[in-house]
A = this chain, B = another copy of it.
Amino acid sequence: MTLALSSCCADQPVPDARHYFSLPDALPMWRGGTVRGAQLAYETWGRLNRARDNAILLFTGLSPPAHAAASPEDPREGWWQRMIGPGSAIDTDRYFLICVNSLGSCFGSTGPASIDPRTGQPYRLTFPDLSIEDIARAGHELVRGLGILRLDTVMGPSLGGMVVLAYAALFPGSARRLVSISGTAAASPFAIALRSIQRDAVTSDPDWRNGQYSRERPPVAGMRLARKLGTVTYRSAAEWAQRFDRQPIRADLRREAPFAPEFAVQGYLEVQADRWVNAFDANCYLYLSRAMDRFDLTAHGTSPALWRRADLAHALIIGVESDMLFPISEQQALAHALEGAGIATRFVPLPCIEGHDAFLVDTERFGHAIGEFLAR
């Protein structure tokens, strides 16, 4: 999951295509507690038709903002640039695409880094427990606020691939179609282990200060470690064997320090960590990461009753054979459950070697599968 934030010149205003939606006050949270004065940042592409039945709601992975693609208001490349636009897989001549920054994140939506109106201070760890269900609910409130009774499609990759399942379970009849990409109905203990070590890296950094870090001194070392490990879990051994083999590190990434990086793959991890560390808030990261571990669709019932109630007409479940974090067996099981509930389901296992992140990289294969599904 690569962050798509271009840096911008200091003299020019940063282009911004975000809209903001005020969530109901106070917003009840799935595991208890409420959030006051919460808002959701979102961007849109294309036009909502008169019947208001051509909307696609797109949830993101853990880290991206709502800026999925360029637009006149913000011409910078988005995190899913090649998938979105007139004539693209998500055809904005035909569909009205809405991408939301997840509740709990830090790119305009309310989360642990936001100011609590009751105290005038950032929520930090006083933000209530965040669940995948809350991210789904916030998106649903936005959709209703836009006057859309039923989405054409609710779609999401990775964390977003979990959110769409919660969306369908919580709001029966709210979407005609569902697209879950490299998602799961419940994380495996292996994925939990890997994510929990990333959280440990942040919380054991003395600069985390129990969530009370200053803006000037965030837990950089912990966030760097977390991102490096995240990067390993998002890609695959086969890809790196092809891409880096045992090549030495690029000369410009070399540094003098004990146990400094020596191999090209280590340089790649350094670059990923550099890009991430000042772009994402540590507490927001912890909340979103834990929400993924905790999500378990069986909290909403069991198949096939759960899926019959959801009232979906069609579903597309995509997975990647080299994904170690959200293994293909989990997408296969999900597709099987949907089919078993009588939903016309297409399961597309892709042979990409880029692992979990393939949806960001192999837009040809993903574009083909999604474009064909939407065009039906």
A binding-site residues for B, Cβ under 8 Å = 125, 186-190, 192-194, 196-197, 199-201, 203-204, 206, 210-211, 221, 224-225, 228-229, 231-232, 236-237, 240-241, 243-246, 257-259, 261-266, 269, 286, 290, 293-294, 296, 324, 327
Contacts and interface: CB of A to CB of B under 8 A. Distances in A.
Number of identical protomers? 2
Given A125-B258, A188-B240, A327-B237, A193 B232 contact: yes
A225 to B, nearest CB: 6
A321 B289 CA distance: 30
B221 A190 contact: no
A357 to B, nearest CB: 14
Given A194-B232, A197-B228, A200-B225, A189 B265 contact: yes
A71 to B, nearest CB: 36
27 contacts: A188-B237, A188-B240, A188-B241, A189-B237, A189-B240, A189-B241, A190-B232, A190-B240, A192-B265, A193-B265, A193-B269, A194-B232, A196-B265, A196-B266, A196-B269, A197-B225, A197-B228, A199-B259, A203-B258, A203-B259, A204-B221, A211-B258, A229-B229, A237-B324, A246-B296, A263-B293, A324-B324
Contacts of A327: 237
A197 B269 contact: yes
Contacts of A196: 261, 263, 265-266, 269
A225 B237 contact: no
Contacts of A203: 257-259
Which 10 A-B pairs rank lowest in CB-CB distance, beginning with the nearest? Answer: A190-B237, A189-B265, A204-B221, A189-B240, A189-B244, A197-B228, A193-B265, A196-B266, A193-B232, A192-B263
